[in-house]
Amino acid sequence: MAENRFNQIDRYVSGLMADEELVEFEQRMRENLGLAEGVHLHRDILVGMELQFMRELKQRLILSDLPEKKINWKLIALIVGGVAIAAAAGYAVYYYYFS
């Protein structure tokens, strides 16, 4: 019965009910507060899921538009080369003064 009720609520919220069934279901909602609350909860959940999906999609689109960061290999080579030259010069000075 609960699964049948869920399917009915889902078809109602999705707009898939036939006119005759729709009138009967709306009458039952007016008579049964729990059913009406179930319909509103179901609708709220679907809206929340759609909103979350749209937020995630928007975030993915924003991230896909960002340019990729490229590594500046020339700058890295210059820095490494400078450090190597400074180390060699430091060693030469140390060796010259302390030997």
In whole angstroms, give the CA distance from residue 4 to residue 10.
Answer: 10
Same domain, 25 and 37: yes
Q: Whole-angstrom Cα distance, residue 80 to residue 72?
A: 13
What is the pLDDT at residue 64?
A: 83
Per-residue pLDDT in tens (0 to 9) along the chain, 99 residues: 555 888 999 999 999 999 999 999 999 999 999 999 999 999 999 999 999 999 999 998 888 887 777 888 898 899 999 999 998 888 888 778 776
Helix residue ranges per DSSP H, the chain: 2-14, 19-31, 33-65, 73-98
Q: Residue count of the chain, please give it.
A: 99
Strands (E) across the chain are located at none
Q: Are residues 28 and 39 in the same domain?
A: yes
47 lies in the same domain as 5 = yes
User: Which pLDDT belongs to residue 52?
Assistant: 94
Domain region containing 83: 69-99
- What is the model's pLDDT at position 93? 82
Q: Using CA atoms, how far apart are residues 55 and 30, in angstroms rounded to an integer?
A: 35
Same domain, yes or no, for 11 and 41? yes
Same domain for 60 and 14: yes
Instruction: Determine contact, residues 38/9, Cβ cutoff 8 Å.
Output: yes
Residue 81 C-alpha from the chain's centroid: 43
